[in-house]
Structure 1
Amino acid sequence: MSQTIDYGKLMHRAMRSLIQEVLGQVATHGLPGQHHFFITFDTTHPDVEIAAWLRDRYPEEMTVVLQHWFDNLEVTDQGFYITLNFGDTPEPLYIPYDAIATFVDPSVEFGLRFETASSDDDEEAVDEDGAEEDVPEAPLAEDLDPDTASPSEAEIVSLDSFRK
């Protein structure tokens, strides 16, 4: 048995499960109200399936929007299939949950970001007007000094502090 609990891995699994559940509801019932999603994913992930011209245009990362028109949304345990419209051309895609970098629903100011080893320290987000804004980040567990941190010194952060 491991000597530590990998909270990061557990959190990522829970967040990906949340995305799976949300997309599953959308596949069954459609998008409710004003909900829509911006999903950014790693196009270099070995299980991503996109057209060659999309991979050429987005060699590292791509953001898709699920809003007005999408078709054939099929949600699996490992990822989802969807057909999206690119310049009046429907294109099928497969996006594994492991390839997702961000999942945002701006209609309710909800977003998830998956940290990777290649993430920059000065990451930025784009607000609804397209302007870049700094996103506060919580310290990673490996950045904390185990000799000085104790349960009584834990800081609880309200998610409200990250909302506009």
Structure 2
Amino acid sequence: MTRTIDYGNLMHEAMRGLIRKVLHGIEQDGLPGQHHFFITFDTLHPDVEIADCLSDRYPGEMTIVIQHWFDNLTVTEDGFAITLNFGDAPEPLYIPYDAIKTFVDPSVEFGLRFETQPDEDEVDDAPMEEMAEPEAEDEDHRDAEVVSLDQFRK
């Protein structure tokens, strides 16, 4: 068996560490300036803890906004707990980092996207064009960068 470096999982681990550090700073000092987050996560992840009414309403994935009102933000090594308002009803949530699909801070046009690992057959059949260099962007106009690692997975 040939051993290889799993860059995709290493990068995802680093990206989750970045989210953990950002949330830990928010836990300690609150949200600075205009920063706010849109976090989309897999509601079916076995370690996600949300109210039944929310999992019924959002079967599969849900996006939360951390902005004006939130409470009880607790950041751990594996995930974070937070209380958010849903229709004037505070609801506690626990979201493991492994369940996060996207993390976006639109105030600074920053975003991360976690892709699921495709089957090996899908990668072998992927056309080589997917590995092409991205087109150069106009320096006066750049959209938020979203990091996708699927094209580099083996």
Letter in 1 for 2:96: P
Letter in 1 for 2:99: A
Q: Secondary structure at the match of 2:68?
A: coil
Where does residue 126 of structure 1 map in the other structure? none
Matched positions, count: 136
Identity among equivalent positions (%) equals: 69
| Structure showing greater relative contact order (alpha-carbon pairs closer than 8 Å, 6 or more residues apart) | 2
CA distance in 2, matches of 1:142, 1:114: 21
Give the superposition deviation at 1:63.
Answer: 0.1
Task: Spell out the pairing of 1:109-148 with structure 2 (5 A cutoff).
Answer: 109-117=109-117, 143=126
**2:9 aligned with 1:9:** yes
Pick from 138, 142, 154 the counterpart of residue 163 of structure 1: 142
* Structure 1: stretches of 5+ with no match in the other structure: 119-139
* Structure 2: stretches of 5+ with no match in the other structure: 144-154
**2:88 aligned with 1:88:** yes
Where does residue 61 of structure 2 map in the other structure? 61
| Structure 1 vs Structure 2 CA RMSD | 2.8
Give the superposition deviation at 1:101.
Answer: 0.2
Give the superposition deviation at 1:2.
Answer: 5.9
Q: Secondary structure at the match of 2:85?
A: strand
When normalised by structure 2's length, the TM-score is 0.78
Give the superposition deviation at 1:3.
Answer: 1.5
Residues 34 and 13 (structure 1), Cα distance of their counterparts in 2 relative to 1, 3 Å cut? same
CA distance in 2, matches of 1:141, 1:14: 26
